[in-house]
């Protein structure tokens, strides 16, 4: 067998030429791309029905609704839905974030119509049966009891609460015990009626199917969906600045390890600052074995099994944070080391070699992230969600290469002030 | 070439498995050493996993801090993991960069530098890794169940090792472990992706064939005697949620009962890699409101291992109530023949899971090596076919044989905050 002559970059990446886009008459956007290397198909998508629409008293409602969509529809029970899915080795699921309700699934290509039918019924005609709602409530409450014992999750929740103050991003999308207890079946039905509809719905399909046929299949199951009075997507408010470093500790007794989250705001995904911030973050806490942070906290000091930074950029203001899990006795030592690294990062930026390394990594790893159908689904959904342009992957290499050391230090200074951080820890 | 793969044994005993896949410009290379936590005597538990960490500390040619940068710079992904039966390292790279991975693995098979200083710093990293796991109630429970299930066999301890040993293992212990097991005749190289087999084999021979053969390392094997009655235990800890783990002794992956057991498992707790909401245990325990979740898995291991089912309890039901319902389901699969449709369903599920796996080159290289730890590659290629051969009578027979109370350990995590 001869080696295939791949043009490594560009030609094999998703582009306007091979991602078929269609808009159905009811407003649904369909994105499709074929891949005949495996007899399977992946799909994913989202619609603007997120936690942003919830009141503080009903926190967790969007999430509760999305977890109940497959618990019964006008034609099928929970057990029937899952029996059809699991019998053919297919899977699907929903979850909610602040802005959107997201969904995803996969199947053998012969079962795509089945998958689409179940998606369509779950989205359009869920019935929220009372007994199923109560079962889900019990599961959600157990989930919250486990969350209360999880050092990483609790440090994160407290971090977001302080960083985002009264912004919708300050609230955990799985709610609190009292809010989950207060949600009624009527709340769920009403939320579904107001926010679930074809407007703003995006569906991406990638796999062993011709794109046009994929669109026809979507049209068949979703084309007739109309919802009068579906609410418009809501704009996000702005955030308030952090005036000085704020430290908080959440006590969870009898834990062997504490978790820490420290950081500040990040640019949105669409911002011109994004690529420079992302490459800077790679140097700071990703590249190689978790970048500079990993090198100092794990390699040199042996303080943690994991210590890294991440840039969480999305539709609204993201967070730029450092996470680590350390022995409770070493918490302050780890915080000091990380603070020093942040100061150095803001003062000196990155070296020429560091930047070149991360740039090479970003360009080189692209084929890996686009290998599976699921990887391509999320890539083309991101292009659409953040309005990056269908030629994004064709431009990607130059976007990465054009970032300079000055760009990195500028965004570092713009977003990170080492004297104005949120430092959240959880543990004994 | 058989089953689309080429298998060669080099002069020094190293086994090479190659599979060309030309769907993306990617190659994934895995090197497997036949050593895992089951090879660790008391006092040295966790040493395989710790050695795996030390393998990232560099060689003279690729000093510490250079290795990871070199791989990342080329857009590669790499990592390593330790299981009970093996220790494995992989790099998945753009196809034209794979030489780096091959050179790196050949070099660190012989030349890893293990210093006192690096060992001291890694000791606290590994203890931190263990402490992170100890935060989880299910880790605490699972560790206790495993200890109780294996009194004699070295599957009895967790891969991470006991803290007592993590505090006392020395630099020389680690170095000796490395020198004993990291020899070519104890290694398997499995590579899948966009290459030409002939060229690849030439490169591999040039890099690996000159590495001298070592003494064939022995494997620690102390067969676990038959369990003589049900073992029950409890673990207490913080939280409000109780968990039960039920562990049955199961045969190894090449045993004749393996495939009937796979079908049985897919009926009881769902097919691996899929949701399991129509599995019998889920319907009986979660739908009927005795638990909030129930999941199960068994390991494909060299020696007989465990089939474990974990129940997450509801606060309004006791672990005893849930266990009684669980036992009724076990009785049902032992006394009532399953239908042929249920076997057809399990086969279709496996076909789908294999199709998803074929989208991913790293996954395919993994499976070649993984299977070779305990069987021939045909074990993998014939998997679906062997599943299809299973009859309802086979499933009933294995359910009666293995799902006996006397063959199990039942552990309960009792939260101190329960009822508060």
Domain parsing of chain B, residue ranges: 5-208, 231-415
Q: Which of B94, B10, B15 is nearest to B377 (CA)?
A: B15
For position B2, what pLDDT does the model report?
57
For position A95, what pLDDT does the model report?
96
Same topology, domains B5-208 and B231-415? Answer is yes
Pairwise CA distance, residues B342 & B332, whole Å: 15
User: In chain B, which residues have their Cβ closer than 8 Å to the Cβ of A252?
Assistant: 238
Strand pairing report for B408-415 and B243-250:
antiparallel
The dihedral through the CA atoms of B94, B95, B100, B102 has a sign that is positive
Q: How far is B186 from chain A (nearest CA, A)?
A: 28
Q: Which residues contact B245 (CB under 8 A, 6 or more apart)?
A: B138, B141, B142, B145, B308, B309, B310, B311, B410, B411, B413
Query: What are the strands of the beta sheet with A29-34, ordered from one edge?
Result: A20-23, A29-34, A202-207, A40-47, A101-108, A91-96
Contact A187, A61 (CB under 8 A): yes
Q: What is the pLDDT of residues B346-385, one digit of tens each?
A: 999 999 998 898 889 999 999 999 999 999 999 999 999 9
User: In chain A, which residues have their Cβ closer than 8 Å to the Cβ of B161?
Assistant: none
Q: Considering all CA atoms of chain A, what is the largest pairwise distance in Å, rounded to the nearest integer?
A: 64
Instruction: Name the H helices within A125-243.
Output: 130-147, 151-164, 177-182, 185-195, 211-222
Instruction: Name the H helices within A245-330.
Output: 274-285, 287-293
CB pairs < 8 Å spanning A and B: 211
Per-residue pLDDT at B284 exceeds 60: yes
User: Inter-chain contact B241–A142, Cβ cutoff 8 Å?
Assistant: yes
Per-residue pLDDT at B257 exceeds 80: yes
Does residue A237 sit at the B interface (CB-CB below 8 Å)?
no
Place of tokens 């790679």: A282
The residue among B24, B293, B365 with the most chain A CBs within 10 A of its CB, best to mutate, is: B24
For position B1, what pLDDT does the model report?
56
Mean pLDDT of B266-295: 95
Q: Name the region of A138 (left: φ>0; alpha: ψ -120 to 50; beta: rest).
A: alpha
User: In chain B, which residues have their Cβ closer than 8 Å to the Cβ of A149?
Assistant: 137, 238-241
Does residue A359 sit at the B interface (CB-CB below 8 Å)?
no
A361 closest CB neighbour out of B73, B274, B279: B73
- Which tokens hold the place of B182? 């990291």
For position A390, what pLDDT does the model report?
92
Contact A343, A418 (CB under 8 A): yes
Q: What is the pLDDT of residues B132-163, one digit of tens each?
A: 999 999 999 999 999 999 999 999 999 999 99
A90 closest CB neighbour out of B69, B127, B352: B352
User: In chain B, which residues have their Cβ closer than 8 Å to the Cβ of A363?
Assistant: 75
Report which secondary-structure segment, H or E, holds B247: strand B243-250
CATH number of the domain located at residue range(s) B231-415 in this protein: 3.30.830.10
Q: Which residues contact A359 (CB under 8 A, 6 or more apart)?
A: A279, A400, A401, A403
Say which CATH class B5-208 falls into.
Answer: alpha beta
Mean pLDDT of B117-138: 95
User: In chain B, which residues have their Cβ closer than 8 Å to the Cβ of A93?
Assistant: 275
Q: Which residues contact B129 (CB under 8 A, 6 or more apart)?
A: A305, B160
Q: Bridge-partner residues for A32, per DSSP?
A: A20, A205
> Average model confidence (pLDDT) for chain B?
95
Question: What are the pLDDT tens digits along chain A (428 aa)?
Answer: 334 444 444 457 899 889 999 999 999 999 999 999 889 999 999 999 999 999 999 999 999 999 999 999 999 999 999 999 999 999 999 999 999 999 999 999 999 999 999 999 999 999 999 999 999 999 999 999 999 999 999 999 999 999 999 999 999 999 999 999 999 999 999 999 999 999 999 999 999 999 999 999 999 999 999 999 998 877 888 899 999 999 999 999 999 999 999 999 999 999 999 999 999 999 999 998 899 999 999 989 999 999 999 999 999 999 999 999 999 999 999 999 999 999 999 999 999 999 999 999 999 999 888 889 999 999 999 999 999 999 999 999 999 999 999 999 999 999 999 999 999 999 99
Contact A276, A407 (CB under 8 A): yes
Pairwise CA distance, residues B253 & B147, whole Å: 21
Measured between CA atoms, the residue of chain A closest to residue B120 is: A302
User: In chain A, which residues have their Cβ closer than 8 Å to the Cβ of B270?
Assistant: 86
Q: Which of A44, A7, A32, A19 is nearest to A397 (CA)?
A: A7
A288 closest CB neighbour out of B69, B97, B287: B69
* Dihedral angle computed from the Cα positions of residues A109, A113, A116 and A121, in that order, rounded to the nearest 10 degrees: -150
Contact A407, A237 (CB under 8 A): no
Is the model's pTM score more than 0.90?
Answer: yes
Residues 8-27 in A contacting B (C-alpha not used; CB under 8 Å): 8, 12
* Dihedral angle computed from the Cα positions of residues B204, B209, B211 and B216, in that order, rounded to the nearest 10 degrees: 110
Q: How many whole angstroms from its chain centre is CA B284? A: 29
Measured between CA atoms, the residue of chain B closest to residue A108 is: B352
Q: Which of B380, B378, B376, B370 is nearest to B33 (CA)?
A: B370
Mean pLDDT of B395-404: 98
Q: What is the pLDDT of residues B377-390, one digit of tens each?
A: 999 999 999 999 99
Per-residue pLDDT at B340 exceeds 90: yes
User: Inter-chain contact B72–A287, Cβ cutoff 8 Å?
Assistant: yes
Q: Which of A2, A3, A11 is nearest to A396 (CA)?
A: A11
User: Inter-chain contact A372–B127, Cβ cutoff 8 Å?
Assistant: no
How many helices and strands in chain A, by DSSP H and E?
16, 11
CATH number of the domain located at residue range(s) A20-222 in this protein: 3.30.830.10
User: In chain B, which residues have their Cβ closer than 8 Å to the Cβ of A85?
Assistant: 275
Place of tokens 């896949």: B21
Collapsing DSSP states into helix, strand and coil, what is residue B11?
Answer: coil
Pairwise CA distance, residues A364 & A370, whole Å: 12
Phi and psi angles of residue B8, each rounded to the nearest 5 degrees, phi first: -135, 145
Mean pLDDT of B73-87: 94
A246-427: CATH homologous superfamily? Metalloenzyme, LuxS/M16 peptidase-like (3.30.830.10)
Q: How far is A385 from chain B (nearest CA, A)?
A: 25
Does residue A364 sit at the B interface (CB-CB below 8 Å)?
yes
User: In chain A, which residues have their Cβ closer than 8 Å to the Cβ of B278?
Assistant: 79, 82-83, 86-87
- Kindly list the domain boundaries of chain A, sorted by start residue: 20-222, 246-427
**Confidence label for B68 from pLDDT (cuts 50, 70 and 90):** confident
Per-residue pLDDT at B271 exceeds 50: yes
Q: What is the pLDDT of residues B239-251, one digit of tens each?
A: 999 999 999 999 9
- Which tokens hold the place of A200? 């703003």
| A294-319 burial code (b ≥16 CB/10 A, e <16) | bbbbbbebbbbbbbbbbbebbbbbbb
User: Inter-chain contact A360–B275, Cβ cutoff 8 Å?
Assistant: no
User: In chain A, which residues have their Cβ closer than 8 Å to the Cβ of B20?
Assistant: 1
């Amino acid at each position: 067998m001869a080696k295939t002559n791949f043009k490594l970059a560009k030609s094999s990446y998703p582009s306007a030429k091979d991602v078929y886009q269609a808009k159905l008459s009811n407003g649904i956007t369909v994105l499709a791309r074929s891949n005949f290397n495996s007899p399977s198909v992946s799909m994913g998508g989202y619609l603007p029905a997120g936690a942003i629409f919830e009141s503080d008293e009903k926190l967790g409602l969007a999430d509760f609704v999305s977890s109940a969509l497959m618990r019964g529809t006008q034609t099928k029970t929970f057990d029937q839905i899952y029996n059809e899915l699991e019998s053919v080795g297919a899977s699907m699921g929903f979850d909610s974030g602040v802005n959107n309700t997201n969904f995803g699934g996969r199947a053998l290509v012969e079962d795509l119509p089945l998958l689409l039918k179940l998606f369509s019924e779950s989205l359009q005609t869920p019935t929220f049966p009372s007994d199923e709602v109560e079962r889900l409530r019990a599961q959600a409450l157990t989930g919250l009891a486990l969350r209360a014992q999880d050092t990483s999750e609790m440090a994160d929740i407290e971090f977001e609460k302080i960083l985002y103050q009264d912004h919708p991003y300050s609230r955990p999308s799985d709610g609190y015990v009292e809010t989950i207890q207060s949600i009624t079946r009527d709340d769920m039905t009403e939320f579904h009626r107001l926010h679930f509809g074809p407007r703003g719905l995006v569906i991406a399909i990638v796999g062993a199917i011709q794109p046009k046929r994929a669109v026809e299949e979507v049209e068949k199951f979703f084309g007739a969906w109309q919802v009068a009075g579906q609410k418009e997507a809501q704009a996000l408010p702005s955030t308030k600045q952090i005036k000085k470093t704020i430290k908080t500790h959440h006590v969870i007794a009898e834990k062997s390890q504490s978790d820490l989250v420290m950081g500040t705001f990040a640019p949105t995904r669409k911002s011109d600052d994004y690529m420079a911030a992302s490459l800077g973050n790679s140097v700071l806490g990703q590249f190689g074995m978790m970048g500079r942070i990993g090198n100092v906290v794990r390699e040199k000091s042996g303080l943690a099994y994991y210590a890294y930074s991440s840039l969480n950029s999305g539709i609204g203001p993201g967070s730029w944070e450092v996470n680590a899990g350390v022995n409770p006795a070493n918490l302050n030592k780890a915080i000091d080391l990380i603070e020093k690294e942040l100061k150095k990062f803001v003062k000196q930026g990155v070296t020429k070699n560091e930047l070149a390394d991360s740039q090479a990594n970003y360009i080189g790893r692209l084929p890996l992230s686009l290998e599976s159908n699921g990887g391509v689904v999320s890539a083309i959904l991101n292009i659409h969600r953040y309005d990056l342009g269908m030629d994004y992957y064709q431009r990607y290499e130059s976007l990465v290469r054009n970032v300079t050391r000055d760009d990195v230090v500028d965004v570092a200074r713009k977003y990170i002030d080492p004297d104005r951080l949120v430092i959240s820890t959880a543990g004994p | 070439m058989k089953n689309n793969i080429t298998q060669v044994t080099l002069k020094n005993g190293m086994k090479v498995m190659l599979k060309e896949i030309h769907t993306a410009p990617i190659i994934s290379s895995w090197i497997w050493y036949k050593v895992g936590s089951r090879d660790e005597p008391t006092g040295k538990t966790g040493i395989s996993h710790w050695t795996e960490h030390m393998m990232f500390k560099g060689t003279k040619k690729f000093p510490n801090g250079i290795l990871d940068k070199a791989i990342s710079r080329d857009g590669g992904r790499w990592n390593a993991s330790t299981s009970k039966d093996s220790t494995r390292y992989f790099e998945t790279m753009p196809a034209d960069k794979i030489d780096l991975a091959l050179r790196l693995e050949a070099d660190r098979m012989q030349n890893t530098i293990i210093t006192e200083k690096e060992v001291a710093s890694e000791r606290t990293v590994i203890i931190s890794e263990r402490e992170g796991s100890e935060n989880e109630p299910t880790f605490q429970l699972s560790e206790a169940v495993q200890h109780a299930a294996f009194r004699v066999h070295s599957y009895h301890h967790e891969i991470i090792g006991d803290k007592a040993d993590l505090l006392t293992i020395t630099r020389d212990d680690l170095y000796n472990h490395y020198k004993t097991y990291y020899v070519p005749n104890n290694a398997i190289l499995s590579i899948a992706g966009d290459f030409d087999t002939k060229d690849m084999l030439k490169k591999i021979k040039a890099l690996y064939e000159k590495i001298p053969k070592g003494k064939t390392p022995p494997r620690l094997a102390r067969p676990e005697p038959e369990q003589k009655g049900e073992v029950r235990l409890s673990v207490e800890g913080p939280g409000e949620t109780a968990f039960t783990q039920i562990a049955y002794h199961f045969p190894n992956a090449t045993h004749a009962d393996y495939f009937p057991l796979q079908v049985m498992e897919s009926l009881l707790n769902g097919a691996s890699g899929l949701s399991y909401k129509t599995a019998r245990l889920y319907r009986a325990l979660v739908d009927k409101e005795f638990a909030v979740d129930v999941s199960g898995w068994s390991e494909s291991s060299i020696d007989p291992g465990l089939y474990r089912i974990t129940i997450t309890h509801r606060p309004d039901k006791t672990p005893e109530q849930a266990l009684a319902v669980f036992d009724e389901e076990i009785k049902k699969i032992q006394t009532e023949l399953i239908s042929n449709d249920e076997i057809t369903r399990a086969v279709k599920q496996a076909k789908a899971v294999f199709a998803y796996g074929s989208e991913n080159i790293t996954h395919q290289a993994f499976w070649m090596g993984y299977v070779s730890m305990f069987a021939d590659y045909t074990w993998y290629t014939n998997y679906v076919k062997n599943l299809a051969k299973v009859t309802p009578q086979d499933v009933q027979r294995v359910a009666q044989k293995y799902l006996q109370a006397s063959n199990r350990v039942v552990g309960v995590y009792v939260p101190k905050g329960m009822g508060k």
